[in-house]
Amino acid sequence: CSHPSSRAAVALLLPRLCSFRPSLAMSSVTGTVTIQQPLNYRAGGRVQPVDGGQAEEVYEPATGRVICKVLCSGQKEVDLAVQSAKAAFKIWSQMSGMERSRVLLEAARIIREQREEIATMETINNGKSIFEARVDIDISWQCLEYYAGLAGSLAGEHIQLPGGSFGYTRREPLGVCVGIGAWNYPFQIACWKSAPALACGNAMVFKPSPFTPVSVVRLAEIFTEASVPKGLFNVVQGGAATGQFLCHHPDVAKISFTGSVPTGIKIMEMAAKGIKPVTLELGGKSPLIIFSDCSLENAVNGALMANFLTQGEVCCNGTRVFVERKILDAFTKEVVKRTQKIKIGDPLLEDTRMGALINRPHLDRVQGFIKQAKEQGAEVLCGGDLWVPDDPKLKNGYYMRPCVLGNCTDDMTCVKEEIFGPVMSILPFDTEEEVVERANNTKFGLAGGVFTRDIQKAHRVVAALKAGMCFINNYNISPVELPFGGYKASGFGRENGRAAIEYYSQLKTVCVEMGDVESVF
């Protein structure tokens, strides 16, 4: 890096990081990490898959370097992981909610204690700024704490029936659940799925994205250190084939997937053959509606948060920014000015606010959307081109300047399709009724946002939006206490909040007759 002295904070944590993980050899300079230990985790330890297939290269987005190769798990390894989880489930499911709570609290404590190490690992493998990665890790331990708090309160109900008879319900775990994660929030998504699953008494086999296989293995080790039964949380690595083995496995009780709509459709089809319940958190093309009576500065901040976190690689981003025409020029001018000031660079530097996109093919895909937008008549108001770093170590990284598109119309590809990159499309509107209709004119329904000082209008508009997660005068705030999930093609089921408990448990009804049975025969 150009200024090693600015990396003092990272350098301080390195001895601890290496002591925890002897497989991680790194200096205080980006571009030196190599990972040699196995990235599968089964029965309480790292293992190589017994039938590992092709080796996939794993990159450091900031530099384009290969940091490791990961072996894809075959059918035998998947079966071993599921059987290991099944054995651990027998122990874990018989523990009380309070006993499970204590284990989850201990895991949360370890994550909190190792926040800097885990965030650094996440930044190296994902490319997001260390500033953001720390927030992700904080949300992760908060998620475990939240479900630890709920674990001891999970209960059924007692129902009085005539003649002294009664019934009651039991809330029971499902069994071995499968979590399939995405590459934009690797560690956080694994916590979002595992925390409610384990709180309810389930076991989990988790498959991270093959692009970001590293940090989830650390979560598995933390669960083991927190004293879960060995095998309760296993990790298998791989791509589509490994995912298919998981979805078709007869001992898998439930599948929770975060990712693209096409993959979600395939997972739903596979789950249907085994009548397995699924939670799908899929893509989005969410509307952000800026009314003229808003606080302009707050709305601009909201638009930046809605478009440029994690290099724009966020499913619920508000990338269709509808701006009331009377403030269109003022809003656009301010957004462009602020976007141009976003600090791009080495994601491990403290002042970096935008790191590298996940890989070269994805960067090329985002660039293709911008090229097509220009061909369809959109105007690039700023950014959209590749960012070339001064530091030679970063020259092969996957960087681009955040882009704002003007002169957009609803029929353009950049307005209809999920780009999953730092690209904001600005669209003018005139009336509330018009903008609500246009906002809902999409196959997606993950999120939506409104900026206005008129609180009645704000609630009226979000009530009319066909989206699962709505924001008023903020955006991309996801407290673990609130359910998260979409409408329409953005999926179904919910993560976070009490709602997730419903998707990781099942209800048994017991009817007790206190008198003699009256037969009709």
Packed helices 215-225 and 186-199: angle between N→C axes, nearest 10 degrees: 30
Residue 380, SS3 per DSSP:
strand
d(CA 415, CA 411): 7
Element (H, E) at 131: helix 130-151
Residue 285, SS3 per DSSP:
coil
Contacts of 156 (CB under 8 A, 6+ apart): 168, 169, 170, 171, 507, 508
DSSP character at residue 505: E
Residue 158, SS3 per DSSP:
strand
Element (H, E) at 330: helix 328-340
DSSP assignment string, 337-377: HHHHT--BS-TTSTT--B---S-HHHHHHHHHHHHHHHHTT
For tokens 């039991």, the residue is 170
Q: Say whether 99 is catalytic.
A: no
Element (H, E) at 180: strand 176-180
Angle at 395 between CA 26 and CA 16, to 5 degrees: 15
First to last CA, the chain: 86
What are the structure tokens assigned to 509, written together? 């009804």
Element (H, E) at 199: helix 186-199
Residue 46, SS3 per DSSP:
strand
* Strands, sheet with 176-180, edge to edge from the N-terminal-most edge strand: 45-47, 40-42, 233-235, 203-207, 176-180, 252-258, 278-281, 491-492
Considering only CA atoms, give the Rg of the chain. Answer: 24
CA 120 to chain centre: 18
For the beta carbon of residue 463, count every other beta carbon within 10 angstroms: 9
Residue 423, beta-bridge partner list: 403
d(CA 31, CA 28): 9
d(CA 95, CA 442): 46
Angle at 112 between CA 24 and CA 14, to 5 degrees: 30
Packed helices 215-225 and 97-113: angle between N→C axes, nearest 10 degrees: 130
Q: Are 498 and 515 in contact (CB under 8 A)?
A: no
Angle at 311 between CA 309 and CA 211, to 5 degrees: 115
Catalytic residue among 60, 132, 145, 281: 281
Q: What is the dihedral of CA 68, 72, 78, 84, to 10 degrees?
A: -10
Give the active site residues: 281
